[in-house]
Amino acid sequence: MLLENTIKLCEALTPVENDIVKYILANKSLVVEMTIQQLSINISVSKSAVHRLCRKLGLKGFNELKVKLAQDLADIEKGQEVIDVNYPFEQHDSPKMIASKLMKLYETTVRDTFDYIDAVELEKISTLLYNAEVIDIYTHAHNLNPAENFLDKMLTIGRVVNCPSSFYKQRMTVLAATKTHVAMVLSYSGKASFIFPILKQLYVRKIPVVFIGKAGSNLYPNYVTHHLPISDKENLQDRISQFSSHIALQYMLDVLFGCIYNKDRKRNIRYLHESISFMDDRI
């Protein structure tokens, strides 16, 4: 995971630690060449404050932070051209150029989302979903498309997923949920009005919650069991469309399906082979 992404996911930073973080992210190339004493002088903080921040980020010390920062800069430099995820193509672009730029946007978004993945957390979440008798997905608007795509994939291996499309059905689904259910809440910003009432009721009913949204969008950590962050480069309003957030969410749901599928791969292959003639009447 990129150091910048690790920082974004680090909770409960002190005001001093936030100042250190802001300086580091704004001066990456300079910080790589600094000693801890130089950094401390530049932002008027103690060396012990820098050490405490490093430990919160899971690093042994400032030298390891510099090494990680240097690796990130090298990876970015090797990457492809930067794409504006909000306005990925321009008015004068030809159809082929639009296709090329959207391809690069997809690549950038998937790579950025991949960099947020914590392998241990992903394993916990996929195990939780695998063991659930029923998965209930709570989302709305354009996020219903990838949610229903996940539902379809799960049905091909005989797994029950609910995806209520109206606020009324969401509330009724929450009330019908039992401890055999696991909830997935999908929201790029985490600010959708339906989220908090749903989370409160899930919490009361002791239903585990997997929240998928951009880094920093988990606004109710006390009610969320697991958070899967996705690429956070898209502006909420100033954009052509939800190109980046859509592909990031689709990618993460496909990853989860792959993890669940592989937990009983032989059974799932057998189920498909036994069911395909009924599922697909073209055969």
Name 162's bridge partners. 136
Name 184's bridge partners. 137, 210
> What does the pLDDT profile of the chain (283 residues) look like in tens digits?
677 778 877 777 899 998 998 899 889 889 999 999 999 999 999 999 999 999 888 888 898 898 888 877 876 665 545 678 899 999 999 999 999 999 999 998 998 899 889 999 999 999 999 999 999 999 999 999 999 999 999 999 999 999 999 999 999 999 999 999 999 999 999 999 999 999 999 999 999 999 999 988 999 999 999 999 999 889 888 999 999 999 999 999 999 999 999 999 999 999 999 998 888 877 5
- The structural domains of the chain, ordered by start, are 3-78 (1.10.10.10), 116-279 (3.40.50.10490)
- For residue 97, give every residue at least 6 positions away whose Cβ sits within 8 Å of its Cβ, in sequence order, or none: 89
0.75 surpassed by pTM: yes
SS (H, E, C) 56-103: HCCCCCHHHHHHHHHHHHHHHHHCCCCCCCCCCCCCCCCHHHHHHHHH
